[in-house]
Structure 1
Amino acid sequence: MKKYTIDFSHSTIGFSVRHMMISRIHGTFEAYNAEIVAADIEQMQKANISFTIAVASVSTKNHDRDVHLVSPDFFDADVYPKIIFTSTYIDQLHERKFAIHGDLTIKNITRPIVFTTVYTGKGVNPWAQEVFGFQAKTQIDRRDFNLVYNTFLETGGVLISDEIDIVVDLELNLL
């Protein structure tokens, strides 16, 4: 088994949520780490993957909103400082497409989720290291993790949708 590391300058853990039912707000988590071990990263079926994300590193490019997100109204980062994902098994869907099944823990609540993941290819970076690219997507219902803050709008609907889209873009290389 080989260990892989993330090239953080070429990787992103992002999310988006519908705002006022008319637009989308996008955000990222700026501090995270991962353990990725695989016999063959391009085939992935026997890979073990785990991520730990620092909740307080959330960034939506709006300071007041970021402060609100780490408050007890949402993530309550002082009590629940980490989001954790651990893979449980991986299915190959097509030649370069995989379903990564795993457990996602937010606010000490763990739910099974599936990331639809595409192996986007490999190359050699300017430092002569072989690198591998992946994009993983999933959608969660934030209520499943006790992220329930919301406001009803006078015009109907709610301020924040319950569905959160998560997109992880990774560039990996051998450790």
Structure 2
Amino acid sequence: MKKYAIDFSHSTIGFSVKHMMISRIHGTFESYSGEIVSSNIEQMQDANISITITVASVSTKNHDRDVHLVSPDFFDADVYPKIVFTSTYIDNLDDKTFAIHGDLTIKNITRPIVFTTVYTGKGVNPWAQEVFGFQAKAQIDRRDFNLVYNTFLETGGVLISDEIDVIVDLELNPL
């Protein structure tokens, strides 16, 4: 088994949520760590993946919203400072597409999740190091993790949708 490091300057853990039923708000987590091991990263079949996200690093490019997201109304980062994903098994859907099954823990609530993951290719960076790219997507219902804050709109509907799209772009380097 070979270990892989995340190239943080070329990777993103992001999300989007529908706002007022008409547009989407996008955000990222700026601080996270990961442990990825596999005998063949391009095949992913035997990969073990663990990602830990620092909740307080959330960024939606709006300071007041970010402060609200880490408050007890949402993530309650003082009590639950980490989000953790741990893979449980991986299905090969085709040559470059995988279903990565795992457990996602937010606010000490763990739920199963499946990331549809595309192997986007490999290359050699300017320092002669191999790099591998992946994009993973999933959707969660925030209520499953006790992220229930919301406001009803006078015009009908809600301020924040319950469905959160999670998009992870990773560039990995073998160690």
| TM-score bracket relative to the smaller structure | over 0.9
Displacement of 1:15: 0.1
Could you state the TM-score of these two structures normalised by the residue count of structure 1? Answer: 1.00
Match of 1:91 in 2: 91
Structure 2 matches for 1:25-36, cutoff 5 A? 25-36=25-36
Displacement of 1:105: 0.1
Structure 2 matches for 1:164-175, cutoff 5 A? 164-175=164-175
Share of identical aligned residues, percent? 88
Any stretches of 5+ residues in structure 1 without a counterpart?
Answer: none
| Aligned equivalents of 2:95, 2:36: Cα separation in 1 | 20
Match of 2:158 in 1: 158
Match of 1:115 in 2: 115
Could you state the TM-score of these two structures normalised by the residue count of structure 2? Answer: 1.00
Say which SS state the counterpart of residue 101 (structure 1) adopts: strand
Whether 1:135 aligns to 2:135 is: yes
| Aligned equivalents of 1:46, 1:112: Cα separation in 2 | 19
Structure 2 matches for 1:7-156, cutoff 5 A? 7-156=7-156
| Aligned equivalents of 2:133, 2:52: Cα separation in 1 | 20
Which aligned runs of 4 or more in structure 1 are off by greater than 3 angstroms? none
1:42-68 CA-partner distances (Å, limit 9, x unpaired): 000100000000000000000000000
1:119-173 CA-partner distances (Å, limit 9, x unpaired): 0000000110000000000000000000000000000000000000000000001
RMSD value, Cα? 0.2
1:78-133 CA-partner distances (Å, limit 9, x unpaired): 00000000000000001100000000000000000000000000000011000000
User: Size of the alignment, in residue pairs?
Assistant: 175
| Aligned equivalents of 1:124, 1:39: Cα separation in 2 | 19
Code of the residue aligned with 2:10 in structure 1: it is: H
| Aligned equivalents of 2:154, 2:166: Cα separation in 1 | 29
Code of the residue aligned with 1:47 in structure 2: it is: A
| Aligned equivalents of 2:38, 2:138: Cα separation in 1 | 22
